[in-house]
Amino acid sequence: MTYELKKQIELKGLTKEEMGHYFETIYEKKFRADQLYHWLYTHHVTSFEEMLNIPKRLQKILETDCTLEVLKIESVHSSETTGTKKYILSTQDGKLIESVLIPDDNRTTLCISTQVGCPLDCKFCATGVMGYTRNLTSAEIIDQYYLVSRDNPGKITNIVYMGMGEPLLNFKNTHKSLKILTEAQNTRLSRHRITVSTVGIPEKIKELAESWVRVRMAFSLHSCFNELRSIIVPINDKYPLETIIPNLRYYSDKTRSRITFEYTMFKNFNDRDEDIEALKKLMSQIPSKLNLIPFNSIDHMNPKGVSKKLQATPYGRIMEFADRLRQHDLTVLIRDTQGDDISAACGQLAYEQAAKGRASFNFDEES
């Protein structure tokens, strides 16, 4: 068992087993991990002093060895039209990331980030335009949930790993954070309410299928044709659809869950009749549902090349597209355009705030 050796241990980044092991190394009983999890994920305490059943002597040791401080809320932007709340959070080294709380009819979903920026450069994505800085630690991933749920007690019912970054390119920390979330009883978050969204890293989809976390999987499809998908999702050149789809089928079999295909709709690009036919064929091969996503313009970020040419499919065509697929008993949802008035495209607000100089991105640094 190892934890990353740092000046202080980030307790929020430890699984229960790792926390128990830490307590053993300081000659304490393993059950202290259950107590800490309770204080952290049920009561959302911010200091060791508030952990009433932890002896003072142990509180002092924890204060020296460990830290609870990971992220800080820089600002919160609420949409007046939809109730969506976007959180800009800063890391200890001054990077900015985003988490978004999205209320829907009977659920409230938290969308969290796994990287500062993203290396994959999808042409419709504000985070892609921003470039990549570094992976988030498991504690930084968990702290997004922790901070937003403290600010909205009892509200979060679902989590999607769909914010800044490609979760499966930060596999170790993503996987660990999933373990922590599913272990933290009283978060009300069963594995069925947690979804990891990926553009498709085949071997990592398989690895996640074989791990015990068994959360739901969403795949950013956007086109059933490699030649089109590669234009807007450049990593498709490395991992074309025929390398990804069998792994998604494997994931679905192994976890007994449906794959969600995410499909952002672009006018005269992927909203044609032949796209409907291709989706029918794909969805008949794999237990799945389809999310049609109206495109949120990223024009204000001065996109270049392909990004500049992308236009949103008119809403009427999205409805017609959905209806034609539904006629074949396929499950098709149209996602609301959430929070246009607060720059809802992922990464957009963090980028804008960084550009205003509130914290600095380093576009070249890697970790």
* Binding pattern for the stretch 307-346 against ligand SF4, x by CB under 6 A and - elsewhere: ---------------------------------------x
Q: How crowded is residue 131: how many other Cβ atoms within 10 Å of its Cβ?
A: 16
Is 122 one of the binding residues for ligand SF4 (CB under 6 A)? Answer: yes
Residue with tokens 């970790």: 367
What's the closest the beta carbon of residue 49 comes to ligand SF4, in angstroms? 38
Is 91 one of the binding residues for ligand SF4 (CB under 6 A)? Answer: no
Is 62 one of the binding residues for ligand SF4 (CB under 6 A)? Answer: no
What's the closest the beta carbon of residue 164 comes to ligand SF4, in angstroms? 6
Is 265 one of the binding residues for ligand SF4 (CB under 6 A)? Answer: no
Length of the chain: 367
Interface with ligand SF4 (CB under 6 A), residue from 98, 166, 262, 275: 166
Is 160 one of the binding residues for ligand SF4 (CB under 6 A)? Answer: no
Q: Which of residues 185-214 bind ligand SF4 (CB under 6 A)?
A: 199
Is 68 one of the binding residues for ligand SF4 (CB under 6 A)? Answer: no
Size of the site for ligand SF4 (CB under 6 A): 12
Is 262 one of the binding residues for ligand SF4 (CB under 6 A)? Answer: no
Site stretch for ligand SF4 (CB under 6 A), options 122-130, 202-210, 246-254, 336-344: 122-130
Q: What is the 3-state secondary structure (H, E, C) of the chain?
A: CCCCCCCCEEHHHCCHHHHHHHHHHCCCCCCHHHHHHHHHHCCCCCCHHHCCCCCHHHHHHHHHHEECCCCEEEEEEECCCCCCEEEEEECCCCCEEEEEEEECCCCEEEEECCEEECCCCCCCCHHHHHCEEEECCHHHHHHHHHHHHHHCCCCCCEEEECCCCCHHHHHHHHHHHHHHHHHCCCCCCCHHHEEEEECCCHHHHHHHHHCCCCCEEEEECCCCCHHHHHHHCHHHHCCCHHHHHHHHHHHHHHHCCCEEEEEEEECCCCCCHHHHHHHHHHHHHCCEEEEEEECCCCHHHCCCHHHHHCCECCHHHHHHHHHHHHCCCCCEEECCCCCHHHCCCCCHHHHHHHHCCCCCCCCCCCC
* Binding pattern for the stretch 101-120 against ligand SF4, x by CB under 6 A and - elsewhere: -----------------x-x
Is 276 one of the binding residues for ligand SF4 (CB under 6 A)? Answer: no
Q: How crowded is residue 20: how many other Cβ atoms within 10 Å of its Cβ?
A: 19
Is 141 one of the binding residues for ligand SF4 (CB under 6 A)? Answer: no
Interface with ligand SF4 (CB under 6 A), residue from 90, 99, 127, 288: 127
Burial grade of 114 (CB within 10 A; 0-12, 13-18, 19 or more)? buried
Cβ distance to ligand SF4 smaller for residue 122 or 213: 122
Q: How far is Cα 354 from Cα 349, in angstroms, rounded to an integer?
A: 8
Q: Indicate if 346 belongs to the active site.
A: yes
Interface with ligand SF4 (CB under 6 A), residue from 128, 200, 202, 339: 128
Site stretch for ligand SF4 (CB under 6 A), options 53-61, 138-146, 162-170, 267-275: 162-170
Cβ distance to ligand SF4 smaller for residue 39 or 295: 295
Cβ distance to ligand SF4 smaller for residue 115 or 288: 115
Interface with ligand SF4 (CB under 6 A), residue from 32, 96, 97, 165: 165
Which entry of 10, 18, 66, 98 is annotated as an active-site residue?
Answer: 98
What's the closest the beta carbon of residue 238 comes to ligand SF4, in angstroms? 13
Binding footprint of ligand SF4 on the chain (CB under 6 A): 118, 120-122, 125, 127-128, 164-166, 199, 346
